[in-house]
Amino acid sequence: MGRSYAGMLGAIAFLVATARGLLTGGATNDVLLHAWLGLIAFSAAGYVVGRLAEWIIDESVRTKLKGDATPAERSAAGK
């Protein structure tokens, strides 16, 4: 999940920074520099958010499966 979020957020940040630069008439080098920095920053943030979301989902499923076990299954797992 982390890699997908990184790719999505990074690409969106790059496109938004590029569009903003083109609409405001910025210099090409400045526009590309800001777009690249946005890509790097939002890719890193997206990776962290994606990994955190994956961890939360895994823990939730694991907790749910432990709670759904029958008493006989729980006592067998404890042995």
DSSP notation for 13-34 = HHHHHHHHHHHHT--HHHHHHH
Average pLDDT, the chain: 89
State how far the Cα of 25 lies from the Cα of 32, in Å rounded to an integer: 12
Give the DSSP letter of residue 58. Answer: H
**Domain residue limits at 37:** 2-78
Q: Report which of residues 73 and 4 the model is more confident about.
A: 4
Q: How many domains does the chain have?
A: 1
- Own/partner contacts of 37-40, CB < 8 Å, gap of 24 or more, are 38/10, 38/13, 38/14, 39/10, 39/11, 39/13, 39/14, 40/10
| 66: pLDDT strictly greater than 60 | yes
Model pTM? Answer: 0.74
| 68: pLDDT strictly greater than 90 | no
Q: Residue 72 has what pLDDT?
A: 62
